[in-house]
Amino acid sequence: MFLVKAVEQNSNFFDANGTERFVLTYEVDGLEALASFHADFKERGIKVGELENRGHAGRNFVFYDLDGNKFDVWSELSQEFKRRFVKEEV
C-alpha cells in the first residue's frame, strides 16, 4: 500500500445506488471487541458511525480519518483468516 498526497480527494467511492463506500474493512474478533474499539474511537474524538446490523453475520461501524477517508470495522473474522491464523482449542 502506498500513500499519495492528493488535493481535496479521499479514497471513498459511491456504489451503483449512490451510497458512499469505504475501500478497507478491518475485522475484529467478536461483538465485544467491536464495541470496545467503537467506544475507544469515540473517546479519542475519532468521527465514528453507530454500530450497525447490515443484514449479514456480525455487526459493523464506520470511522473516518482526518482526511475524510471512510473505513469499516466488522465483528467477524473471515473464514480464510480463521483457517490460516486461529488455532482451534482441543
Note whether residue 32 is domain-resident.
Answer: yes
CA distance 38 to 23: 19
Note whether residue 13 is domain-resident.
Answer: no
Kindly report, residue by residue over 37-76, the tens digit of the pLDDT.
999 999 999 999 999 998 888 899 999 999 899 999 999 8
Q: What residues contact residue 24 under an 8 Å CB cut-off, 6+ apart?
A: 11, 71, 72
Note whether residue 5 is domain-resident.
Answer: no
When divided into structural domains, the chain yields a total of: 1
What residues make up the domain containing 60? Answer: 19-85
Q: Is the pTM of the predicted complex or chain greater than 0.75?
A: yes
Kindly report, residue by residue over 6-45, the tens digit of the pLDDT.
677 788 889 999 988 898 999 999 999 999 999 999 999 9
Note whether residue 42 is domain-resident.
Answer: yes
Task: Report the CATH number at residue 29.
Answer: 3.10.180.10
